[in-house]
A = this chain, B = another copy of it.
Amino acid sequence: MQLRRADVLRGARDLLDAEGLDGLTMRKLGAVLNVQAGALYWHFPGKQALLGAIADDLLAGVAEPPPAGPWDQRLVTLAHKLRQALLGVRDGARLVAETFVTEPNTALAGRIGMRILMDAGLPAEQAAWTMFAVGHYVLGHTIEEQATRPGSGRDAELAAQAAGDADLRELAAAISADPGRRFEFGLGLVLDGIRVRVGPRTPADS
């Protein structure tokens, strides 16, 4: 029963879910796959390459365009798919952040967004820069979302610090709030900003 590249990838994702990014080691991965750590180097040139492959894998689903519709709705769908992809595995956002635009599927996802914005009337350069902004927001949000996950104790730390300060209490409350709703809020903010540049939707738009 030989090991294939895909098996290593799946094992790595399982281990990542179980142990987090800091707990993902070549030796443990070897153990999970019933193989010596050194054997992994036949399938991947090194740990970084393996991590890059996981990141790329994670974003595979984002590389296809959302269904037809108004540009803003399509962009929202894309942003949601991106967040969901990052949430697909523990510490997924941190993982992708360390490989970012390098991996093919990240670039492809950006390209999809560009097309949506160019169809909406934005020139290519503005469309590209806008997608970077959207991507940075999604990445930043999801890194924090995964870092502050319940049980990490980070929310409690802030709560303690906030004891005497009403504003800090509000910030602490925001962290404890449903991250999906907070994501939505920030995404709405960014989209409003994009609308200012694209101009109002006309009846001609589908």
How near does chain B come to A103, taking the closest CB pair, in angstroms?
9
Residue of B135, B147, B168, B170 near A98 (CB, 8 A) is: B147
Copies in the complex: 2
Instruction: Known A107-B171, A132-B186; judge A158-B102 contact (CB<8 A).
Output: yes
For A173, the chain B residues whose CB sits under 8 A away are: 125, 128
14 contacts between A and B (CB under 8 A): A94-B98, A97-B147, A104-B161, A111-B165, A125-B170, A129-B174, A129-B186, A133-B185, A133-B189, A135-B140, A136-B137, A137-B190, A192-B193, A192-B197
**Which chain A residues have a beta carbon within 8 Å of chain B's beta carbons?**
94, 97-98, 100-102, 104, 107, 110-111, 114-115, 124-125, 127-133, 135-141, 143-144, 147-148, 154, 157-158, 161-162, 165-168, 170-171, 173-175, 177, 182, 185-186, 188-194, 196-197
